[in-house]
Structure 1
Amino acid sequence: MSITAKQTTNRFSLVPRGLDIWVWLALAIALFAFIPVFTVFKLSWSNNAEIWQHLLSTVFWVYVKNTLVLCIGVALFTTLIGTGAAWLVTRFNFPLKSLLVWALLLPLAVPSYILAFVITDQLEYAGFVQKSLRAIFGWQTARDYWFPEIRSIQGAIAVLSLVLYPYVYLLARAAFVEQAAQLFEMSRCLGKSQTQSFFKVALPLARPAIVVGVTLALMETINEYGTVEFFAVPTLTAGIFDVWLNMSSLSAAAQIALMLVSFSILLLGLERYSRHAGKFYKLTGQSPAMFAEPLTGAKAYAACLLCLLPICLGFLLPVGVLSHYAIRSLDAGLEQYLASAWNSFSLAVMAALLTSCLGLLLAYGVRLSKSSQMRSIAEAATLGYALPGAVLAVGILYPLGLFDNWVDRLMQAWFDYPTGLLLTGTGGALVLAYSLRFIALSYRTLDASLSKITPEMDDASRILGSRSGKTLWRIHLPLIRPSLLTAILLVFVDTMKELPITLILRPFNFNTLSTQVWDLASLEQLEQSSLAALTILLAGIIPVIIMSRNISSSQSRT
């Protein structure tokens, strides 16, 4: 009997699964998702010597300098805030700690351009802060006192750091929670102080996780357009818009985009190298969690205030200001808000469903193929998430234009009927762009969930006569339903917030909540845009709740 079972298992394992229709479908999705990257490479081969001569002699090095300064500043401050907050709530007990553990994630729900609008509104010359200072001290004009310039690269670094530090905090805290308490206590027994033990034991062990968090923050930084444009900080991302729209050179814009793609790939490479160079392993199966030392007196209140500060500036401030403005201007522009909200909601639903389906098919094809080459292809297909939104828009607009022109010529030749632009400048182009941008979210979420299902369940289903599609429908989907819902929600929220892609590819006279906020706030009409901004912000809390629940569940298992 055992020999027969072994023969049956071998027979099923020798099935050429590479020929499975699901694998071919996943391969087609991966190649389709790679189209924007290929398009950017193709466009970049054009000769733009005159434009580059002008750029090199005027603004190009300003773009490079500002991008590097922005990345360095954001990396520094997100590391300090995220790692410091993670260590405080993991290592110490102090007032409000149980609330702060998850509240420190809340700024992640705030789009950076919305925080930029709010902070500028409150801190500029006519804002609440400077008005109050002049009233208290009797100052008359700006010449009577010094106040930092808000619309500057320093302001952009501050805003981006406040909304991006949760990436570092989330991963650093997970790393600190998983560290064995014996290592830290052994360091203390060897005569090392609390600070020395942190820098010599805890921080090196958490370094790979911190690097991943900083990498994610930097990927968002180089993708940022709204904040840097509002603060008048010319970066490479802003340069794509400038070269494309003002100099009418799509190929030169693609060449700048290729630089950002190279920078993104470099960041991913450095992150992977850091993880491989800094691997640490547990010596035992289970270890007691890090002991939380109680703080008292001034130290306890100082720790509480340090954790509260980024929450107040990055979340409570924009929520309070926008809520106040929204109540005051509830009736103003309500019809425009409802139209924009419907556009955002419908696009986000369609993009979330399409992206989740594509991600599921891609992950299932990788599972069936059991091939490292297929997994590498799938990973390449998720590169769209590493691309700045402006770069992805360039990579999609060109092939859509070629397709529309081909169909138009074909219809005119066969039926003498011009079709015009079928996809370019339509909602369908936006949904396609969102799906290619966020397929990484759905693929990684569902691939991680599918990997937890033992392969023996697939083999048992095959032995019972079920094909791959039936196995997916009756076995895998019920098991990964929570992860599928998570993927749908994450894509939905990110689509609601997406700005650069929407600005470039939206139909004429078509607004979403993000473009309405951008258009009105750019005209210094923050009050009129407050309801739309508040809606985006509240929608962004959804992934924060999901991550908070994951943290709580992981803590309960330790």
Structure 2
Amino acid sequence: MNNRFKALPQISATAVSLTTALISFIILLPVAALIHQSIVEYLPFSQHVIDDTFSGIVDTVLSDYISNSLLVVSGSLIFACIFAIAPAWWCAHYEFKGRMYLQWLMIFPLAIPAYISAYIYTDMLDYAGPIQSSLRLVFQWQGPQDYWFPDIRNIWGASLMLGLALYPYIFLLLRNAFEQRSQSLTQAAQLMGASERKIFWTIHLPIARPALAIGCTLVAMESLADYGTVQLFAISTLTTAIYDSWLVYGSLSSAAKISCLTLLFVLTLIGLEKNSRKKQQNFDSRSAKPFPKVYANKTKTAFIWLFCSTVIALGFAIPLITLISYCIDYWVENINGDILTHSKSTFILAAIAASIACLLALLLNSQQRFNPSKSNQAKLSLSSLGYAIPGTVLAIGILIPFTQLDIWLNTFIRSLGYEKVGLIFSGTTFALILAFVIRFSAISNGNIQAAYKQMPPNLDDASTLLKAGRLKTFRKIHLPIMTPAIVSAFLLVFIEVVKELPASLLLRPFNFETLATYVYQFASDEQLEHAASGALLIIVVSLLPILLLSRSQKMH
């Protein structure tokens, strides 16, 4: 395998290798820029003036940023586990009426951005909202002094919104892990007289712990990176601190320092997840005989459907129905040229970013396929690191070098006697596209890599015997086989770009809106009703991969 395609011109292999190295450099550039910006003012002989903004933040509110971030992450994990663990076990362990429908309906809340749910529930549970108004009418209460009602606009309310939006990550991973449980271990425990509940807590859940850890890591990373929900609820976290440091205080240095602190949290989460994944080998039971599903009685089936339906209603049905009602009640505001304009620009941007991400994934993975090596594998791994970087952090990491490039370019143009060309790098959609490609390349890489792993090596060997070159082998053999994976990767990246909010808020050019920023601007002004059609469009687009995934699971 390592000696394939030796007859190809050396210059072609070198060009591909240099290209993949350049891709890895570009992906690492934002992180390097953050670190440099954080320490440059303290370096000897540095001409940068020390920025006192960060010192003020450290002395006053940094501890609040950190504690609030930890509380939001912890609360999101608690709610996500409550919503995911039991349903994952029920769908994997029991056979009951409608199980196939229920297990993919449980994934639907992934299509609802948390900040949209946050606004809807805030409006619904507000003093002037329909619930409190109905309670006052029924019980003849005159004012807020006559009764107590919980306030959702706090850390636990934000955690609940994020938990409802993110629990499907844990649900999917745990359900798959539970379905691979060992029959022999269960039978051994039953022979020893253990109850079903004890077997679950002492055998099945510990075996699935690595999958639970991976799901919890994803939830923690997404909740740490969230901006829309915590900003709507006026909760100061590390993500909002980055945003305020740059746009409110005008301190790029402070934003870079807080971004590095956020990255430290992310790296800690990834380290914990990697450690749990190593332990997974000790509990691997896929070779064991799978355990047949147990038929649930009517009472248990009713309870399962009641619990899961409540979760689905809170996470998907209620926000969706509310948005539809907004569209009907405010149809004049929702049917306008702005929606069409922002939708068109968003879809074009998403299509460009998804195409580039897929092309880069094909280039990196085919290079590893044709020339397996540690360096190529390292480039492939580096290209997937962007997903671990929160959108706000990535945006600051791109702004730093691009702003400097614009300064150098305009200075050079003026030295030649010409007018300044403006913000070519940091003030156009180029920065936005680069952020999307870096952040979501892990998705395209994962799909393409999985397709390559399922491709038998003897296909390449046969191509070598026929004296076909790399390009012909790739075009005639690899590409047709991987077409479904490429389409899937394109759709997934496309949808993630449409939903992405933090990076879009920081990097969008002037007078440019994506669907996510357009909807968020109205939500932050407490006027989501006027942008409900945009929110519905985001949800409909986001449902596409979920429906495809559900269909593939039903076929399987």
Question: Which residue of 1 is the match for residue 531 of structure 2?
Answer: 529
Question: Which residue of 2 is the match for residue 303 of structure 1?
Answer: 304
Compared with structure 1, are the counterparts of its residues 128 and 500 closer, same or farther at alpha carbon in structure 2 (3 Å cutoff)? Answer: same
- Cα separation, 2, equivalents of 1:492 and 1:24: 27
Equivalence map 1:510-521=2 (5 Å): 510-521=512-523
Question: Which residue of 2 is the match for residue 430 of structure 1?
Answer: 432
Q: Does 1:38 align with 2:32?
A: yes
Q: CA deviation at 1:58?
A: 1.6
Compared with structure 1, are the counterparts of its residues 20 and 189 closer, same or farther at alpha carbon in structure 2 (3 Å cutoff)? Answer: farther
Equivalence map 1:480-499=2 (5 Å): 480-499=482-501
Which digits, 9 at most, give the CA deviation of each residue in 1:187-220, with x for residues without a partner? Answer: 2222000100001111111111111111111110
- Cα separation, 2, equivalents of 1:222 and 1:507: 25
Task: Letter of the 1:311 partner, please give it.
Answer: I
Compared with structure 1, are the counterparts of its residues 371 and 123 closer, same or farther at alpha carbon in structure 2 (3 Å cutoff)? Answer: same
Question: Which residue of 1 is the match for residue 20 of structure 2?
Answer: 26
Question: Which residue of 1 is the match for residue 46 of structure 2?
Answer: none
- Cα separation, 2, equivalents of 1:316 and 1:302: 19
Question: Which residue of 2 is the match for residue 68 of structure 1?
Answer: 70
- Cα separation, 2, equivalents of 1:283 and 1:164: 27
Task: Letter of the 2:325 partner, please give it.
Answer: H
Which digits, 9 at most, give the CA deviation of each residue in 1:372-429, with x for residues without a partner? Answer: 3321232122221111111111111122222223333333344634322212221222
If the length of structure 1 is used for normalisation, what is the TM-score? Answer: 0.93
Question: Which residue of 2 is the match for residue 278 of structure 1?
Answer: 280
Equivalence map 1:309-348=2 (5 Å): 309-333=310-334, 334-348=336-350
- Cα separation, 2, equivalents of 1:399 and 1:534: 36
Give secondary structure in 2 for the equivalent of 1:234.
Answer: coil
Of 79, 82, 105, which residue of structure 2 is paired with 1:77? 79
Give secondary structure in 1 for the equivalent of 2:208.
Answer: helix
Equivalence map 1:135-534=2 (5 Å): 135-280=137-282, 285=287, 287-297=289-299, 299-333=300-334, 334-414=336-416, 416-534=418-536
Aligned partners of 2:207 and 2:283 also within 8 Å: no
Q: CA deviation at 1:328?
A: 1.9
- Cα separation, 2, equivalents of 1:170 and 1:120: 29
Give the fraction of aligned pairs with identical amino acids, expressed as a percent. 36
Which digits, 9 at most, give the CA deviation of each residue in 1:310-365, with x for residues without a partner? Answer: 10000001110001111222222511111111121111111111111112212222
Q: Which runs of 5+ in 1 are unaligned?
A: 1-8
- Cα separation, 1, equivalents of 2:315 and 2:348: 28
Q: CA deviation at 1:255?
A: 0.6
Which digits, 9 at most, give the CA deviation of each residue in 1:99-123, with x for residues without a partner? Answer: 2111000001111111111111111
Aligned partners of 1:94 and 1:303 also within 8 Å: no
Give secondary structure in 1 for the equivalent of 2:177.
Answer: helix
Task: Letter of the 1:314 partner, please give it.
Answer: G
Q: CA deviation at 1:29?
A: 1.2
Q: CA deviation at 1:169?
A: 0.2
- Cα separation, 1, equivalents of 2:281 and 2:143: 57
Give secondary structure in 2 for the equivalent of 1:77.
Answer: helix
- Cα separation, 2, equivalents of 1:285 and 1:221: 35
Compared with structure 1, are the counterparts of its residues 459 and 410 closer, same or farther at alpha carbon in structure 2 (3 Å cutoff)? Answer: farther
Compared with structure 1, are the counterparts of its residues 356 and 533 closer, same or farther at alpha carbon in structure 2 (3 Å cutoff)? Answer: same
- Cα separation, 2, equivalents of 1:411 and 1:467: 45
Please say which of residues 180-189 and 228-237 is displaced more in the overlay: 180-189
Please say which of residues 348-357 and 448-457 is displaced more in the overlay: 448-457
Aligned partners of 1:241 and 1:253 also within 8 Å: yes
Aligned partners of 1:486 and 1:546 also within 8 Å: no
Which digits, 9 at most, give the CA deviation of each residue in 1:264-314, with x for residues without a partner? Answer: 1111111010111232465684623432232222x3311211111110000
Task: Letter of the 1:327 partner, please give it.
Answer: I
Q: Does 1:551 align with 2:553?
A: yes
Which digits, 9 at most, give the CA deviation of each residue in 1:529-558, with x for residues without a partner? Answer: 1111111111111121233234334xx3xx
Please say which of residues 401-410 and 189-198 is displaced more in the overlay: 401-410
Compared with structure 1, are the counterparts of its residues 282 and 206 closer, same or farther at alpha carbon in structure 2 (3 Å cutoff)? Answer: closer
- Cα separation, 2, equivalents of 1:94 and 1:145: 42
Give secondary structure in 1 for the equivalent of 2:91.
Answer: helix
Question: Which residue of 2 is the match for residue 6 of structure 1?
Answer: none
Task: Letter of the 1:326 partner, please give it.
Answer: C
Give secondary structure in 2 for the equivalent of 1:228.
Answer: helix
Task: Letter of the 2:23 partner, please give it.
Answer: I
Compared with structure 1, are the counterparts of its residues 387 and 11 closer, same or farther at alpha carbon in structure 2 (3 Å cutoff)? Answer: closer
Which digits, 9 at most, give the CA deviation of each residue in 1:473-513, with x for residues without a partner? Answer: 11111111111011100011111111111111111121221
Aligned partners of 2:96 and 2:296 also within 8 Å: yes
Compared with structure 1, are the counterparts of its residues 187 and 467 closer, same or farther at alpha carbon in structure 2 (3 Å cutoff)? Answer: same
Q: Which runs of 5+ in 2 are unaligned?
A: 43-49
Compared with structure 1, are the counterparts of its residues 15 and 456 closer, same or farther at alpha carbon in structure 2 (3 Å cutoff)? Answer: farther
Q: CA deviation at 1:467?
A: 2.1
Task: Letter of the 1:463 partner, please give it.
Answer: L
CA root-mean-square deviation: 2.1
Compared with structure 1, are the counterparts of its residues 290 and 449 closer, same or farther at alpha carbon in structure 2 (3 Å cutoff)? Answer: same
For these two proteins, the number of residue pairs brought into alignment is 545
Compared with structure 1, are the counterparts of its residues 21 and 281 closer, same or farther at alpha carbon in structure 2 (3 Å cutoff)? Answer: farther
Aligned partners of 1:94 and 1:301 also within 8 Å: no
Task: Letter of the 1:63 partner, please give it.
Answer: Y
Aligned partners of 1:176 and 1:290 also within 8 Å: no
Q: CA deviation at 1:439?
A: 0.8
Aligned partners of 1:95 and 1:301 also within 8 Å: no
- Cα separation, 2, equivalents of 1:443 and 1:302: 40
Task: Letter of the 1:250 partner, please give it.
Answer: L
Aligned partners of 1:124 and 1:130 also within 8 Å: yes
Q: CA deviation at 1:20?
A: 4.7
- Cα separation, 2, equivalents of 1:413 and 1:306: 69
- Cα separation, 2, equivalents of 1:422 and 1:504: 16
Aligned partners of 1:30 and 1:362 also within 8 Å: no
If the length of structure 2 is used for normalisation, what is the TM-score? Answer: 0.93
Compared with structure 1, are the counterparts of its residues 336 and 282 closer, same or farther at alpha carbon in structure 2 (3 Å cutoff)? Answer: closer
Q: CA deviation at 1:11?
A: 5.8
- Cα separation, 2, equivalents of 1:453 and 1:257: 40
Question: Which residue of 2 is the match for residue 5 of structure 1?
Answer: none
Give secondary structure in 2 for the equivalent of 1:394.
Answer: helix
- Cα separation, 1, equivalents of 2:368 and 2:3: 21
Task: Letter of the 1:41 partner, please give it.
Answer: I
Q: CA deviation at 1:12?
A: 4.0
